[in-house]
Chain A
Amino acid sequence: MGSFSVSIEPLVSLDKVSYLYPRSKKLALCDISLEIHKGEFLGLIGPTGAGKTTLCLTLNGIVPQFYGGRFFGRVTVAGLDTVDHPISTLARHVGVVFQDPETQLIATSVENEIAFALENLCVPREEIKERIPRVLAAVRLEGTEHKHPHELSGGQKQRLAIAAALAMQPDLMVLDEPTSQLDPVGAEEVFATVRELNREVGMTIVMASHAAEEMAEYADRIVLLYDGRIIAAGTPDEIYAQIDLLYEHYLRPPQVAETFYMIGKRGAPVNKPPVRMREGAMLLDTLYQQCTIAAPKNLSMPVFHRGEPLLSVQDLKHTYPDGTQALQGVSLDIHEGEYVLIIGQNGAGKSTLVKHFLNLLRPTAGTVKIGGVEVGNFSVSELARRIGYVAQNPDNQIFSTTVGNEVSFALRNLGYSAKEVEERTVESLEAMGLLDVRDAHPLSLPKGDRARVVIAAILAMKPEVIIFDEPTTGQDFRGARFILDISRKLHQMGKTVLVITHHLYLMPEYAERVIVMGKGTILLDAPIREAYHQVELLRSTFLSPPQAVLLAQQLNHRERQDWKLLTPREVADCFVCHSNGKGGMV
């Protein structure tokens, strides 16, 4: 709870709200009753499609006033009924920050962005001029008044969106997955800003997010939505401790809670799994006295790949035309059959490196080879046969009118015979489980299936290497696991897999080797167990090691060991406990 107290009178009240989008047969919201109090930080969690965005949009009247459809029940914000009052009036009371930093900034300069809503609300010019520096200072963007939004980083863009909402001096700030498109630095900037607004100024916050660890840390109350209904509501300690409930609704608990839940399953006296690291660390200390710690068994060891590398980079430098030195002497070898994770902040050089593999960029200095031959000797289309590239947004990679044509698109380009095109298309569709929807329009499929279509299309070229560029960005836990499971399947098929992601906690089950990049150099290249335990190095480049790794380090410190544990299960497996009747799982 922040230094500002939560008032008893609700600022927002939802009374038996149900909502049906036009031309939809399924309720997006179903019988929602909820009160939000002034000064409260309310977290909304739920998988994609649970109704989080719809609920956010009911708070400023966009649902139902803009979308239409059928609306039941009543929503009041600051005493105003959201159906009776125009959206422009409600906008004075409810500031909204959306998911995509690109779409929500509409002006051509930072100051114009902040001024836009105020101008619409007919705020006098002198007052607008007074508010701009004030809100920019509140989000720590002073001095950027005349910059174009394009010149800002992702985190800065979201902070600008917060500043623009803040300028309207709203009673309530609604943030709909504001960090899902950001790198860890950007996400941290946004969370810090929101926390400050809540705790220092007493701003009421409603935030939808998949970031379990951060929500557990900052929210006063969590509401779990699923299929348009409220499944549970309570403090983060109450909600995130119910691991089975979260699993059941395809949600990821904070790793610290998951770890202690598993330790409890092994008979340790864990009444309620802690949901924040500091409490987890304290509980770990008390459990030593009641459990025996056993050395971990069967930790998977990295496979050493020898021989000629498949991809080889020697002293690679790349300088962009504007003078940015994106790569400053990078050298690495990737062998056939490896699963490599590349991590680092935006601007660290990850994408620039990968684009050299694909010959989309030419080295300023140094060499890039595939199978011992410089990639510059191949055209982009020739390299496409050997290296498949799956970009973040599948919709930018779909050009055909049927799934079958989409998969055969590349094969026709590459001049295969009709027979071979057919054979490879069927084989690829089968491998991705898409044969049944061969004649469907790719865009008629759900997003996860569209991603599979793109992967099937790439697989048809039978590449040796497949690169996944931020496949987990903007995905919920289920969506991210879905794509990573495919990557594992491809790896098991013998493909060399490279994955770029910011979500470190997802990767221990998949990756073998980690390359940490920063400022155009390789900061670390090590097996995943080594890399994840280089906590200081990861933190120095603003990457947060998973909580299970931090707990493992505490365990190591106590036991004077150097066990390279990565997952909640591995940490829990070290605890050999006997239930004394007082403990056990709740």
Chain B
Amino acid sequence: MLKFQTVERDSIFSHLDFRSKLLMMVVVSIVAFVWESPIALAALTFVVVAACLLAGVKSGYIKFIMKVMSPFYLLLLITHGFWNIEQVKSLTGKQVLTPLFAFPHSWWLIGGASMSLEGFLYGWSVIFKTLTLVMVIPLAIFTTDIDNMIVSMVRAKIPYKLTFIFSSTLRFFPLLFEEIQTIIEAQRLRGLAVEKMGPVQRVRIYAQIAVPLILGAMVRSQQLEVVLQAKAFTGSAERTYLHESLLHRSDYVVIALCILLLLLVAILYFWFDVGKYAWILFR
């Protein structure tokens, strides 16, 4: 059974209120967006991944993310390495880029294309940027109890209806996943040899799952609506909460540190070029 993942380790992150972690997520994401330097972004990724491991996020999960993202990363390196020319020229102020290698002119279509060091490194900076954004999510979400997450979201003035959609997604996602498995199983039992199929055929088959899945989801959503009505749910924000969300001293410290970090990054970036693409590498 697929369940909402939570970490088992007791760390500073599991003691923080979700609002502090939400702010941390936002600040790290802003920094990752602003920075272009592969060195700075690599350092940021390293810190976030290390924090994940420290918080108890399983290394298997991190490996899984890397595996899933790897084709996309390869594509980033190729496209930026070969074709991101004008942007890296303007970022580095160079007129001529440093070639790493080029395809012979005689080759069809790609003949003469040259991979530049600057483009290649820019590709890495985008990779670190996305990796930071992806890894900061489990750091905040997996270390938070769902109850705390929901109440914190409401306290953070996120509309209750949205919060409810979020929590019921967490509740019903495993059910949907189970249903997909059942349908695929039913198709295999009708002679569908998924294991012998090519990727195109597989996509076509998976599209067919949509029919029973959507039907099931529609039936279920109407049942859910009736259940919610019977439980006096109106979507109104005027309600009480069983769980509390309290900010402790450690939360205030984290919030202060996040704001300070954001200010520091802004000052260093705009006045001292720290984090800009050419920082250290091309000066």
A interface list, Cβ under 8 A from B? 57, 60, 62, 66, 87-88, 91-92, 94-96, 98, 100, 102-109, 111-112, 115-125, 128-129, 132, 148-150, 164, 168, 358, 360, 379-382, 384-385, 388-389, 391, 393, 395-401, 409-411, 413-414, 443, 457-458, 461
Contact = CB atoms under 8 A, between A and B. Distances in A.
Interface in B217-242: 219-220, 223-234, 236, 238-242
From A120, A384, A461, name the one whose CB has the most chain B CB atoms within 10 angstroms.
A120
Contacts of B231: 91, 106, 116-117, 120, 164
A399 B188 CA distance: 12
Nearest to A102: B175
A181 B97 CA distance: 69
B75 to A, nearest CB: 33
Contacts of B60: none
Contacts of A125: 240-242, 244
B188 A121 contact: no
From B168, B175, B229, name the one whose CB has the most chain A CB atoms within 10 angstroms.
B229
Given A100-B223, A458-B190, 13 more contacts: A62-B229, A88-B234, A96-B230, A103-B223, A103-B227, A380-B193, A382-B193, A396-B216, A397-B186, A397-B212, A399-B208, A410-B190, A413-B191
A100 B227 CA distance: 11
Contact of A120 (B171, B179, B226, B239): B239
From B171, B174, B191, B193, name the one whose CB has the most chain A CB atoms within 10 angstroms.
B191
B147 A66 contact: no
B185 interface: yes
A120 B232 contact: yes
Contacts of A379: 193, 195-196
B215 interface: yes
Nearest to A149: B171
B186 to A, nearest CB: 4
Nearest to B216: A395
Nearest to A115: B242
A385 B183 CA distance: 18
Contact of A108 (B1, B4, B185, B224): B4
B214 to A, nearest CB: 11
From B146, B171, B241, name the one whose CB has the most chain A CB atoms within 10 angstroms.
B171
Given A150-B1, A379-B193, A66 B225 contact: yes
If over half of B's interface residues share one DSSP class (helix, strand or loop), that class is named, otherwise mixed; here it is: helix
Nearest to B234: A88
Contacts of A95: 230
B167 interface: yes
Interface in B181-220: 182-183, 185-193, 195-196, 208-209, 211-212, 215-216, 219-220
Nearest to B147: A112
Interface residues of B, number: 52
B232 A88 contact: yes
Contacts of A118: 240, 242
A168 B230 CA distance: 11
Nearest to A65: B229
B229 A391 contact: no
A111 B216 CA distance: 28
13 contacts: A66-B226, A91-B230, A95-B230, A104-B227, A106-B228, A107-B167, A108-B167, A117-B231, A117-B233, A164-B231, A360-B189, A380-B188, A397-B190
A94 B232 CA distance: 10
Nearest to A98: B227
B185 A413 contact: no
B50 interface: no
Closest 3 CB pairs of A and B: A413-B191, A91-B232, A115-B242
Interface of B: 1, 3-4, 146-147, 167-168, 170-171, 174-175, 179, 182-183, 185-193, 195-196, 208-209, 211-212, 215-216, 219-220, 223-234, 236, 238-242, 244
Contacts of A380: 188-189, 193
Contacts of A62: 226, 229-230
A123 B240 contact: yes
Nearest to A114: B242
Given A120-B232, A379-B195, A413-B191, A396 B212 contact: yes
Given A106-B224, A381-B188, A385-B191, A443 B215 contact: yes
Given A60-B230, A66-B225, A98-B223, A119 B188 contact: no
A66 B229 contact: yes
Contacts of A100: 223
Contacts of B209: 399
Nearest to B231: A117
Given A391-B186, A413-B193, A119 B230 contact: no
B189 A384 contact: yes
A380 B194 CA distance: 10
Nearest to A57: B226
Nearest to B188: A380
From B171, B174, B190, name the one whose CB has the most chain A CB atoms within 10 angstroms.
B190
Nearest to B192: A413
A242 B192 CA distance: 51
B225 to A, nearest CB: 7
A164 B232 CA distance: 12
B189 A389 contact: yes
Contacts of A360: 185, 188-189
Contacts of A129: 242
A119 B239 contact: yes
Given A150-B3, A391-B182, A124 B188 contact: no
A96 B4 CA distance: 28
Nearest to B170: A108
Contacts of B195: 379
B220 A124 contact: no
Contact of B192 (A57, A104, A381, A401): A381
Contacts of B227: 98, 103-104, 106
A458 B195 CA distance: 21
Given A112-B147, A119-B240, A384 B208 contact: no
Given A62-B230, A120-B231, A398-B211, A128 B242 contact: yes
A119 B164 CA distance: 13
A397 B192 CA distance: 13
Given A112-B242, A396-B216, A106 B168 contact: yes
A100 B221 CA distance: 13
Contact of B193 (A88, A381, A395): A381
A329 B179 CA distance: 30
Contacts of B211: 398-401
From B170, B174, B175, B227, name the one whose CB has the most chain A CB atoms within 10 angstroms.
B227
A125 B241 CA distance: 6
A109 B188 contact: no
B24 to A, nearest CB: 23
